[in-house]
Amino acid sequence: MTRTDLNIGLFGFGVVGQGLHAVLARTPGLRARIGRIAVKNRGKARSLPAEVFTYDKNDLLSDPGLTVIVELIDDADEAYLIVKEALLRGKAVVTANKKMLAEHLPELIEIQQTTGTPLLYESAACASLPVIRNLEEYYDTDLLESVEGIVNGSTNYILTAMHRDAQPYAAALARAQELGFAESDPALDVEGLDARNKLVLLLAHAFGAVVAPAELLAVGITSISELATAYAREQGLIIKLVAEARRLPGGGLAAAVLPTLVRPGHELAQVHDEFNGLITQSTFADRQFFLGRGAGAFPTASAVLSDLSALTYGYRYAYKKIHQNAHLVLAPDAAEVDVLVTFDDASGAPDRADFVAVHQEFRSAQRGNYLTGTIGLGQLARASWLRAPGVCVVRLASPLRAAVAVPAALEEAAVA
């Protein structure tokens, strides 16, 4: 197959954009060059000559000499307009914007299929880990049973500092921001929304299920209590923010992002600081583990570089699993999960009727209160107490699984 030279129009010249420029300079064999760069801030000092930059996106989108658009800006709404227009104009696109992709994936897939123009986004999930293309090409969905992992480097850095260095949450977050692993407004990361956006992409390429972010339960790390942290330490466990998608019997899928207790021997227990880790489980390949940096200029730029290299050979996602697996649907009410719930006297105890079973309860005026139990995944997402002040929910060290029962109160309601 003949390789194609790439002339790139780059949107954004921040940390990752500068990293990509540096990486391309060190990989001349790729035969790719940045022809023009669109930026927003006119007053910011730049490391390249002024004539390379423009402040008008149309200078890139309408330039027939630029064959590839690389989008690396932090505005998801503007990124959507840029990516959509580029695809409609027949320009291949590489993007790292997981929020934009998750919110517009069905439309962007349709545009690709209509125009035949490729959109690649390896860097949008797990940065340096080669995840998307492996899920798309290597694993047959009939054999793939689950994917689970730590997919957000910012929260993993914070949780590592809280566990290993016994830092309080606020101090760990401040340090992550100082190092550039967390934004000045860290809500997307710490509330689990960034991991949820990445889980949307993993579901599409692992199982062919295209879902909206709002369909997935996401609980972040902001409500992790001192009692939950103490419980983990006393049990010899580690709290990690884990995104998981699992095939259920009967054609359903269970998927969620939850703080999770991880055993010391588990692969994810070895994923520290800003690193990401992803585990795949399949029938014949069994269990495989990907580990790599999930944040930073060069790790993300390396994934962009991989996509650019794939474009030189005419690669595009075929989304075969979407067409092959219409029977695979998100089914939170067919799944259940074991959880630890801590709560204070002001927030009140969670409703026991929501649980399939309550296994253990503890109450202390000094330390606080908790219970452990099994609850339907859909019921957990609907629980009125889930996001109440003073309530912390952490998944116990067991995977999502098919529901085997429903709470008695729900059975009675269904009969009535």
- Please give the positions annotated as active site: 198
- Residue 230 and residue 366 in contact, taking contact as beta carbons nearer than 8 Å: no
- Residue 123 and residue 270 in contact, taking contact as beta carbons nearer than 8 Å: no
Question: What letters, b where the CB count within 10 A reaches 16 and e where it falls short, cover 195-223?
Answer: bbbbbbbbbbbbbbbbbebeebbbbbbbb
Torsion over CA of 26, 29, 31 and 35, rounded to 10 degrees? 10
Q: Rounded distance, CA 5 to CA 24, Å?
A: 13
Q: Is 89 helix (H, G, I), strand (E, B) or coil?
A: coil
Phi/psi at 247 (5° precision): -75, 140
Phi/psi at 280 (5° precision): -110, 145
Q: Is 86 helix (H, G, I), strand (E, B) or coil?
A: helix
Nearest to 89 by CA among 111, 61, 121: 61
Q: Kind and range of the H or E element at 207?
A: helix 193-207
Q: Rounded distance, CA 130 to CA 13, Å?
A: 23
Q: Rounded distance, CA 93 to CA 86, Å?
A: 7
Q: Please give the structure tokens belonging to residue 267.
A: 């692969």
Q: Please give the structure tokens belonging to residue 111.
A: 């545009």
Ramachandran bin of 136, using left for φ above 0, alpha for ψ from -120 to 50, beta for the remaining angles:
alpha
Nearest to 92 by CA among 15, 132, 32: 32
Q: Rounded distance, CA 394 to CA 334, Å?
A: 20
Q: Rounded distance, CA 128 to CA 124, Å?
A: 10
Q: Is 283 helix (H, G, I), strand (E, B) or coil?
A: coil
